[in-house]
């Protein structure tokens, strides 16, 4: 419980400082009285230092005729509900175990599968059914907000479902680095090794953050080997293909490729629609298909942004009591849509495609029909149809005055080619990503 005396001080101090100072420096302080001492905790040394300089005089005067003394310390207070007794907590932990977080919210059941992620999903499911066997390590890579972390947690949840005693460790790579630094500083490296090497499955997110951290990579390398030898499952995610991560030890890059490496691509329109509808239904909202299509067309970059937009539409609907229609979603996402339209223009598409294929914009607009120009032109027209609200005749006009049937043909052609030509398919995905992030 916060000291009553401190509550009294806060009332005084609120009138002595302006709101910015009060909220930044005074509000975060927490106090507890113990053995005639007022212990005042600050979240970090900065705040403690400021408080010491600016509040000591006030507190000395305030406690002048009492038996109490005071001091400032970095830390905090947590409440034991059942005892009503304050418990002092240090910001740094003593055991690595305490801070390992593993979420049960992400499962295979609530992962929406589409063309962009079906292989990764199938492989993840296999890994979770046979941990430590065929696909070890399992490496998932792809852009931000596409579901890598979701799959990682789903693997962990499935392993636990089959063996509730399994020790699954999920952590962000930065946490591994932080723990190791802490272990080195506090002479606890043996405890660190023992803890991480005793896992049945180690799931590390965003390993690109290992880049440039040589000592952590070295330690991770040994942990990795120990776990692999012990047939423990390792799952890693990264924002790019392992060989493309600069600043990562070559030995690690090579080991990451020993098991199975699987990409997740940005979801296509139908998958985005399914994600929106599933998410809406999970929070008790019915999202009509036409509205879901409208939103999915507007937001193409990643799933997080899509979920953010859905949250906004639902919040607007809850607070106004209005039904979610296309017009309502358009109004709720007005600023986002306006900006999106400004960002993805035909000009921008032409420039991006020309840069990508190292050709001139004038070539895209010219009547030349050789394949090295025709294919990028068809891709650009197809992207203009997909990413902008321009009509086919407008798109045709913007590409050197071509007929709208030419645009239509280009769109169909690109769909057909993508089925058989992986190179063009990859180009389309890359261009879409460049244009929508």
Partner 1 sequence: MNQLILPYQKNIKHTFKNLYSDSNNILIDSVKNIFLDDNNQIYLWGDKNLGKSHILYAACNHFSDIKKKCVYLPLKDYDLFNTDILDGFENYDLVCIDDIDIIYGKSDWEYSFFKMLNNILENSKKIICTSSRSLALENIILKDLHSRLSWGLVFMINQPNDTIKENILNKIIAEKEYNISDDVCSYLLKHNNRKLSDLLDMLHKIGSYSLSNNKKVHVKTLSNIIDF
- Between CA 221 and CA 214 the distance in angstroms is 10
**Looking at residue 195, what DSSP letter applies?**
H
SS3 of residue 264 by DSSP: strand
Q: Does 400 interact with partner 1 (rule: CB under 8 A)?
A: no
Residue 23 has phi, psi (to 5 degrees) of -70, -30
Q: Does 302 interact with partner 1 (rule: CB under 8 A)?
A: yes
Least distance in angstroms from the C-beta of 283 to partner 1: 7
Which residues, numbered 313-332, are part of the site for partner 1 (CB under 8 A)?
Answer: 315-316, 319-320
Q: Does 107 interact with partner 1 (rule: CB under 8 A)?
A: no
- Between CA 341 and CA 387 the distance in angstroms is 9
- Between CA 249 and CA 124 the distance in angstroms is 26
Q: What's the CA angle centered on 110, arms 286 and 131, to 5 degrees?
A: 180
Q: Does 101 interact with partner 1 (rule: CB under 8 A)?
A: yes
Estimate the crossing angle of helix 118-129 against helix 148-162, to 10 degrees: 30
Answer for the pair 44, 74: CB distance below 8 angstroms, yes or no. Answer: yes
Indicate which single residue of 5, 33, 43, 88 sits in contact with partner 1 (rule: CB under 8 A): 43
Least distance in angstroms from the C-beta of 102 to partner 1: 10
Least distance in angstroms from the C-beta of 92 to partner 1: 10
Q: Does 434 interact with partner 1 (rule: CB under 8 A)?
A: no
- Binding segment toward partner 1, per CB under 8 A, in 21-29, 256-264, 392-400, 409-417: 21-29
Q: How many chain residues are in contact with partner 1, going by CB under 8 A?
A: 49
Residue 43 has phi, psi (to 5 degrees) of -65, -30
Nearer to partner 1, 84 or 335 (CB): 335
Query: Residue holding tokens 């993508």?
Result: 418
Least distance in angstroms from the C-beta of 78 to partner 1: 8
Angstrom CA distances, 431 to 291, 376, 400, stand at: 26, 11, 21
Would you state the structure tokens that stand for residue 393, as one six-digit string? Answer: 């005749």
Least distance in angstroms from the C-beta of 329 to partner 1: 14
Indicate which single residue of 33, 52, 54, 174 sits in contact with partner 1 (rule: CB under 8 A): 174
Q: Does 121 interact with partner 1 (rule: CB under 8 A)?
A: no
Query: Residue holding tokens 């609530």?
Result: 110
Residues binding partner 1 (CB under 8 A): 14-15, 17-20, 23-24, 27-28, 30, 42-47, 74, 76, 89, 91, 101, 143-145, 172, 174, 206, 239, 283, 301-302, 304-305, 307-308, 311-312, 315-316, 319-320, 334-336, 339-340, 343, 437
């Amino acid at each position: 419980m916060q000291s009553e005396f401190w509550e009294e001080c806060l009332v005084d101090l609120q009138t002595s400082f302006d709101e910015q100072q009060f909220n930044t420096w005074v509000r975060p302080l927490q106090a507890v009285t113990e053995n005639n001492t007022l212990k005042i905790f600050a979240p970090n040394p900065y705040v403690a230092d400021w408080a010491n300089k600016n509040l000591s005089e006030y507190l000395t005067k305030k406690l002048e005729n009492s038996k109490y003394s005071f001091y400032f310390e970095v830390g905090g207070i947590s409440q034991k509900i059942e005892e009503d007794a304050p418990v002092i907590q240090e910001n740094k932990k003593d055991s690595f175990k305490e801070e390992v977080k593993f979420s049960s919210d992400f499962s295979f059941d609530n992962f929406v599968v589409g063309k962009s992620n079906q292989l990764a999903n199938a492989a993840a499911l296999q890994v979770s059914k046979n941990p430590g066997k065929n696909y070890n390590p399992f490496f998932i890579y792809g852009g931000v907000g596409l579901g890598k972390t979701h799959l990682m947690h789903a693997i962990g949840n499935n392993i636990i479902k089959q063996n509730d005693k399994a020790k699954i460790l999920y952590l962000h790579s930065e946490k591994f680095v932080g723990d190791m630094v802490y272990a080195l500083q506090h002479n606890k490296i043996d405890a660190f090794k023992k803890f991480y090497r005793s896992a049945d499955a180690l799931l590390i997110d965003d390993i690109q953050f290992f880049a440039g951290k040589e000592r952590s990579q070295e330690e991770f390398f040994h942990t990795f080997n120990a776990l692999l030898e012990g047939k423990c499952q390792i799952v890693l995610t990264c924002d790019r293909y392992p060989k493309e991560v600069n600043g990562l030890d070559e030995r690690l890059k090579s080991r990451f490729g020993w098991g199975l490496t699987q990409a997740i691509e940005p979801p296509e329109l139908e998958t985005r629609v399914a994600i929106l509808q599933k998410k809406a239904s999970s929070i008790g909202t019915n999202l009509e298909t036409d509205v879901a299509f409208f939103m999915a067309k507007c937001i193409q970059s990643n799933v997080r942004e899509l979920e953010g937009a859905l949250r906004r539409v639902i919040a607007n609907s809850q607070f106004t009591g209005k039904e979610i229609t296309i017009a309502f979603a358009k109004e709720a996402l007005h600023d986002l849509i306006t900006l999106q339209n400004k960002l993805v223009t035909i000009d921008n598409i032409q420039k991006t495609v020309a840069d990508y294929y190292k050709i001139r914009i004038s070539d895209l607009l010219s009547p030349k029909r050789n394949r090295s120009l025709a294919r990028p032109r068809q891709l650009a027209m197809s992207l203009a149809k997909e990413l902008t609200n321009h009509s086919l005749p407008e798109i045709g006009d913007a590409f050197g005055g071509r007929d709208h049937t030419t645009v239509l043909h280009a769109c169909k052609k690109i769909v057909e080619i993508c089925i058989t030509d992986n190179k063009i398919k990859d180009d389309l995905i890359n261009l879409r990503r460049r244009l929508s992030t």
